[in-house]
Amino acid sequence: MKKKYNFKGGIQCISIKKDPREYFLNYLPDPEKFFIYIKYSHFKKNRLRVKVGQEVLCGQPLTFGDDLIVPVHSPTSGWIKNIYFNPKSSDKNQEKIKIVILSNHLNKWIRLKTIKNYKTYTPQSLIKIIYQSGIVGLGGAQFPSSKKLTLSINKVHTLIVNGIESEPCMTADYCLMQNYINEILIGCKIVAWISKVKDILIVIQEDKTELILKIQKIIENKQLFKLCIIRKKYPGGSSKILIKSLTGKEIPYGKHSIDMGYLVFNVATIYAIKRSIINGEPLIKRIVTLYNKDKNILSKNFWVKIGTPIHFFLNYLKIDSNLNTLIYSGGVFMRYLIVNLNYSIQKNMNCIYVKKNKKNKKKIEYPCINCGYCVHACPVNLLPQEMFLYCKNSDNQKLKQLNILDCIECTVCEKVCPSNIPLVKYFRIGKKIQKNIDIENDRKKLFSSLFRKREKRLLIEKKIFYSKDQISNIKKLDIFSRTQEKEENNSINQKIIEKSLRKEMLKEAIKRAKLKR
Amino acid sequence: MNILYISNAYDVRKIMILVILACIPGLCTEIYFFGYGVLIQMLLFIIISLLFELIILKIRRKNIKNSLFDCSSVLTAVLLGLSIPFVLPWWMIIFGCFFSIVISKYLYGGLGQNIFNPAMIAYVVLLISFPVHMSSWNEKNSSLSFYKDIKNSINLILFHQKKYDFKEKIYPDSFTEATPLDDFKTKSHFNYDLSQEELLIKKKTKNVSIAWKYINISFLIGGLFLLYKNIICWRIPLSFLSSLFFFSSTTYFYSQNIFCSPLFHLFSGGTMICAFFIATDPVTTSSTKIGKIFFGSIMGFLVWIIRNYSDYPDGIGFSVLFANMIVPLMDAYLKTSGYGRKNS
C-alpha cells in the first residue's frame, strides 16, 4: 500500500455508508427567474453591460471585469427584468447589485470559440481567456484563478490538485472526479503548460478506494502525474494544511503557497478551466450537494446553474421551508445560516445543509474547564481556550501574542469542546478587532512619518529665512553652515544650530519689544 | 455529544461520570482490605459536599440545576474519600468538605476557575491539622478486624467510639497503624536491630505492603481505562511515573540499604491514584503539551524528595499543590507558535 499522508490535530469523522446510486449527477430544470448578485467595492464600480429590458443569450457577459472581480455571465437566454442597486447589504464597503433575469426556457447560447490545440497559444492569452470566462476558486475561496495563474508563471514547480472533501456530508468533488476524470486530466495539462509545472499531484482521501484504483490505471504510463492519498480527517482540504501534510513545511506568515513553489487548485476549478479553454464555455453551472439530515436522504448531487434561487431548489425536491427548518450553506462544520431564501446559489457554494430546528433540546453551556481537547484538535497549532479567555476579557495585546489571526475558523475546537462553548463566535469578533487595530497602527505610522517630515521642512525654511535677513549674524551662521556641509548627518551640530537659532530669535523678540516701547 | 460524526465527543458531565466509574476498581480493593468504612465515609463526603455547594449556589444566585448536577463536586468528594484513611470522625469530614468545596473551589469563582486541586487542598489541611488520624491505615487481618462490620464502622465515624478487642494480643503496630512508607521512614531514621517482637511486626508490614500493591494495581487499571477512552492525556501520568522511577532508581543503585527500590516507590502509597486521577485534573494543569510534561516531571521529583528526606510519609498532596502553583507561570511562558511563524 502507498504511504498515507497525515497531519497533526483535526478530528476523525465516522464514515457514512453510501449507495453507489447516490453518486449519479442529477440535473435541475431552469427556474423562471434568476437572481444574480454582484459585489463591487465602493471605489471601483464595475460597469454594467446590460440594460433593463434587453434580451440576453446564454453565456453573455453581464459586466465588465475589474482587477479583483471577474466578469459575470448570464445563465440563461431571456431578458432582463430588473436591476436593483444595493439591496440590504450587510457590509458597508461592499455594495451589491441584484440582476433579475426572466428565462424563455430555450437556452440559446452565444457563439462559442473553441480551441483544439492550446499549445499554439501563449500563456498570457490563455490566461486572458480564463479571466474572461469568469473563473474563480470553486473550493470556497472565490479568488480569481486568472490572477493566481499570472502570479505563478515561472515561480511554481508543482501543481496540487485538491480533491479532498473532508466534510462528511459533501460529495460534489467526488462525483465530478468519478464522471469527468479524463477532462480533469486535460485541464491539469493545460494549467501545467501555462505555468510550466514539473509535477502534478492529485490528492484524494483514503476512503474513496474505487476512484483511487481508477486513477491509478489511467496514470500508470504518464510521468507527470502522481497520486497522493491522505488520511480522512476533517480540516484536510484547506490549502495551508494540505501543504503541511504533503511536504511537512508550513507556509510562512503573510505569504502565499505560490511563494513556496506550490500551486493549489480545486478539482472543480480545473474542470472549469478545461471547459473554458477547449469548449469555450464560461462558468455558468456548478455541482451542489444537498444534505437533508432528518429524512436520512444522504447527499445528492445536482448540476445547478449559478443564480437559481434557493427556494426553487428546495421546492423542486419537495423540502418544506418553514420556520422549523434551518437551511445552511456549507457542510456540517463550516456553515452559514441562510436567512433570505431568495438568495441565489453563488460560485462558492459547495453544499446546502437542511436541518430541523429543535427548540426543546438546549445544550447547557458549562464554564471552560481547561481540558485541552481543543489544543489537541487545533490543526494550526494554536491555544483556543486561552484565546477564548482573552476574547471574553477583550485583552487585545495578549490576543496578538497568541497569533489569533492565524485561526482558519474550521470550528474543530467548537465541536470537540465538552462545555459547548461557541468558541469561533468569539474568535471572529477578536479577529475583526485585531484587523482594525492593525489598520490603525499603519495609519499612525504614516501620519507620524509625515509629521516628522513637515517639522524638518519647517526648520529648514526658518534657517533659510534667518540666514537671508540677518546681516549681522551672517558670520556666525557661515561657520555653522560650513560644519554642516562637512558632517551633514551629525546630530550634535544640528542641535547647536537650533540652539543658536533660538537664541537669535529671542534676541530679536526682545529688540522688537524694546522698539515698541 | 455535539454531532454524530465525531467518534470521541464528550460532555463535561459525561467526563466526570466516566472518571468516577474508573475509580470503582480501586474502591472495591480498598473495601476488601480495609472494610466498609471506606464506602460509608465516601457517601458522607458526597452528601456533605453537595450540601455545601447548594448553599453557596443559593448565596451567589447561580443556576442550581446546571452547576449542581455537573458532578464535579461529587468527583472531588470521591477522590478525597479514596485518599483519606477511613477512621475519621464526622466533624473532620465536614471540615475537609468545607475546605475542598467552599474555600478552594467557590471562593476562586466556581468550576474552571480554581488554581489549586480542591481534593488535595482538603487532604493537606487535614494532614497538617490532624496528623495522627491522617496517618492511621489498617489492614484486614490485624487485631482491629471489627472494622469489617458496618455497624462498628458507623459507630466509629459518627460517634467516634473505639472498642478494642483485648482478647487478642496488641502489637505496638496496632496503635501506630503505620503504612509501609511510614515504617520505612522510621527504619531509616533509627538504626536498630530486629528483636523477636519486631519480627512479628515486620510480617504484618509485609501484609500491609501487599495490600497497597493491589490497591495501586487496581487504580492503574482504572487509569488505563481512562486513557483508552481518551479522556485524560497520556503526558502527565507517563512523565510523572517515569521521573519518579528515574530518580528513585539512581538512588537505589547508589545504596540499597538506605533507599527503597523504584518498584516499591511506584506501587506504594498514592502514586497511581495521583498519576491517573489527581494530577490529571484538567482545571489545575497547564494546557500546552510541553507544559504537561514539565508538570508531571516536577511532581515526580518532588514526590521522591518528600518521601526520602522529609518527615511526612507520603508527599503527594504537597507535590500536587506545589506543581499547581507553577502552572500559571508555565502557561505564561510556554506558548505554541501559530501556523508558519517558526520560519519567518
Q: Model pTM?
A: 0.80
Interface test with B, best of A299, A364, A387, A398 (most B CBs within 10 A): A364
User: Beta-carbon neighbour count of residue A29 at 10 Å?
Assistant: 8
Residue A144 DSSP one-character state: B
Instruction: Using pLDDT thresholds of 50, 70 and 90, give the confidence band for residue A436.
Output: very high
In A, minimum Cα distance to B284 occurs at A370
B288 to chain A, minimum CA–CA distance in Å? 7
Mean pLDDT (whole number) for A297-303: 73
What is the widest separation between alpha-carbon atoms in chain B?
A: 80
Query: Which secondary structure element, helix H or strand E, spans residue A37, and what is its range?
Result: strand A33-41
∠ CA A463-A465-A469, nearest 5°, is 120
Contact A406 B338 (CB under 8 A): yes
Count of CA atoms in the C-beta half-sphere (13 A) of A250: 17
Q: How does the average pLDDT of chain A come out, rounded?
A: 82
Whole-angstrom CA distances from A186 to A5, A189, A308 are 26, 5, 29
Rg, chain A, Cα only: 31
Query: Which secondary structure element, helix H or strand E, spans residue B218, and what is its range?
Result: helix B196-228
Cβ neighbours for A453, distance < 8 A, ≥ 6 positions apart: none
The whole-angstrom separation of Cα B53 and Cα B60 is: 10
Residue A300: closest CA among A312, A313, A309: A313
Instruction: Using pLDDT thresholds of 50, 70 and 90, give the confidence band for residue B21.
Output: very high
Residue A339 DSSP one-character state: -
Contact B340 A252 (CB under 8 A): yes
Residue B113: closest CA among A370, A78, A291, A40: A370
B216 to chain A, minimum CA–CA distance in Å? 25
In B, minimum Cα distance to A408 occurs at B339
From-to residues of CATH 3.40.50.11540 in chain A: 11-317
The whole-angstrom separation of Cα A110 and Cα A60 is: 7
Cell numbers for A111: 457563439
The whole-angstrom separation of Cα B282 and Cα A381 is: 19
The gap from C-alpha B116 to its chain's centroid, in whole angstroms, comes to 14
Determine which of A318-327, A330-339, B138-147, B334-343 has the lowest per-residue pLDDT on average.
B138-147
Mean pLDDT (whole number) for A8-15: 76
Residue B298 has phi, psi (to 5 degrees) of -65, -40
User: With contact defined as beta carbons under 8 Å apart, do A444 and B36 qualify?
Assistant: no
**Where do we find the cell 501484609?**
B207
User: DSSP string covering A85-129, please?
Assistant: E--S-SSSSEEEEEEEEEE-S--PBPPP---S-GGGS-HHHHHHH
- Give the 3-state secondary structure percentages of chain A, helix then strand then coil, rounded to 5: 40, 20, 40
Partner residue facing B339 (CB), from A364, A381, A417: A381
A322 to chain B, minimum CA–CA distance in Å? 23
B chain contacts of residue A14, beta-carbon cutoff 8 Å: 4-7
Residue B102: closest CA among B114, B88, B86: B114
Amino acid at residue number A43: F
Looking at per-residue confidence, does A447 or A235 come out higher?
A447
Query: Tell me, what's the pLDDT at B139?
Result: 46
| pLDDT at position B123 over 80 | yes
B chain contacts of residue A11, beta-carbon cutoff 8 Å: 6-7
Query: Tell me, what's the pLDDT at A95?
Result: 59
A chain contacts of residue B288, beta-carbon cutoff 8 Å: 375, 383
Hey, what's the torsion of the CAs at A269, A272, A274, A280, to 10 degrees? -150
B227 and chain A: CB distance < 8 Å anywhere?
A: no
The whole-angstrom separation of Cα B73 and Cα A335 is: 37
Amino acid at residue number B253: F
Contact A376 B331 (CB under 8 A): no
Cβ neighbours for B160, distance < 8 A, ≥ 6 positions apart: B89, B90
What is the widest separation between alpha-carbon atoms in chain A?
A: 106
In angstroms, how far is the first alpha carbon of chain B from the final one?
Answer: 39
Cβ neighbours for B220, distance < 8 A, ≥ 6 positions apart: B272, B276
Determine which of A277-281, B76-80, B136-140 has the lowest per-residue pLDDT on average.
B136-140
> Bridge-partner residues for B6, per DSSP?
A13
User: With contact defined as beta carbons under 8 Å apart, do A101 and A79 qualify?
Assistant: yes
| pLDDT at position A96 over 70 | yes
The whole-angstrom separation of Cα B272 and Cα B223 is: 8
Amino acid at residue number B76: T
Partner residue facing A370 (CB), from B112, B337, B341: B112
Burial A387-426 (b: 16+ CB within 10 A, else e): bbbbbeeeebebbeebbbbbbbebbbbbbbbbbbbebbeb
B290 and chain A: CB distance < 8 Å anywhere?
A: no
The whole-angstrom separation of Cα A392 and Cα B112 is: 15
The whole-angstrom separation of Cα A410 and Cα A377 is: 11
A11-317: which CATH number, 3.40.50.11540, 3.40.228.10, 3.30.420.40, 3.10.640.10? 3.40.50.11540
Q: How does the average pLDDT of chain B come out, rounded?
A: 79
Whole-angstrom CA distances from B249 to A149, B10, B269, B304 are 63, 39, 17, 10
A236 to chain B, minimum CA–CA distance in Å? 15
Instruction: Using pLDDT thresholds of 50, 70 and 90, give the confidence band for residue A9.
Output: confident
Amino acid at residue number B51: L
User: Beta-carbon neighbour count of residue A171 at 10 Å?
Assistant: 25
Sign of CA dihedral A274, A277, A278, A280: positive
| pLDDT at position B166 over 50 | no
Contact A250 B339 (CB under 8 A): yes
Contact A369 B233 (CB under 8 A): no
User: With contact defined as beta carbons under 8 Å apart, do A221 and A227 qualify?
Assistant: no
pLDDT tens figures, B245-268? 999 999 888 877 777 788 888 887
Amino acid at residue number B191: N
Determine which of A43-57, A328-342, B31-45, B322-336 has the lowest per-residue pLDDT on average.
A43-57
| pLDDT at position B181 over 70 | no
The whole-angstrom separation of Cα A414 and Cα A299 is: 24
The gap from C-alpha B211 to its chain's centroid, in whole angstroms, comes to 16
User: Which chain A residues touch B if contact means CB-CB below 8 Å?
Assistant: 11-14, 16, 168, 240, 244, 249-255, 332, 364, 366-373, 375-376, 380-383, 385-386, 401-403, 406, 408, 414-420
Interface test with A, best of B4, B11, B12 (most A CBs within 10 A): B12
B319 to chain A, minimum CA–CA distance in Å? 21
In B, minimum Cα distance to A415 occurs at B2
Sign of CA dihedral A305, A311, A317, A323: positive
User: Beta-carbon neighbour count of residue A511 at 10 Å?
Assistant: 10
pLDDT tens figures, A210-234? 888 888 888 888 888 888 888 888 7
The whole-angstrom separation of Cα A232 and Cα A226 is: 19
The whole-angstrom separation of Cα B146 and Cα B139 is: 11
Contact B4 A14 (CB under 8 A): yes
Partner residue facing A381 (CB), from B7, B66, B336: B336
User: Beta-carbon neighbour count of residue A453 at 10 Å?
Assistant: 10
Contact A381 B338 (CB under 8 A): yes
| pLDDT at position B220 over 90 | yes
SS3 B255: coil
A5 to chain B, minimum CA–CA distance in Å? 19
A321 to chain B, minimum CA–CA distance in Å? 23
∠ CA A98-A103-A108, nearest 5°, is 120
User: With contact defined as beta carbons under 8 Å apart, do A330 and A353 qualify?
Assistant: yes
Enumerate the known binding-site residues of A: 368, 371, 374, 378, 407, 410, 413, 417
Looking at per-residue confidence, does A444 or B180 come out higher?
A444
| pLDDT at position B171 over 70 | no
- The stretches of B23-164 forming alpha helices (DSSP H) are 24-34, 37-60, 64-68, 72-83, 90-97, 118-129, 131-134, 150-154
ipTM score: 0.81
The whole-angstrom separation of Cα A350 and Cα A290 is: 9
Cβ neighbours for A53, distance < 8 A, ≥ 6 positions apart: A79, A80
Enumerate the known binding-site residues of A for [4Fe-4S] cluster: 368, 371, 374, 378, 407, 410, 413, 417
Residue A111: closest CA among A313, A281, A293: A281
User: With contact defined as beta carbons under 8 Å apart, do A253 and B344 qualify?
Assistant: yes
The gap from C-alpha B166 to its chain's centroid, in whole angstroms, comes to 33
Mean pLDDT (whole number) for A6-14: 78
Looking at per-residue confidence, does B186 or A137 come out higher?
A137
Contact B282 A401 (CB under 8 A): no
Amino acid at residue number B311: D
**Where do we find the cell 502507498?**
A2
Size of interface A-B (CB pairs under 8 A): 118
In A, minimum Cα distance to B230 occurs at A373
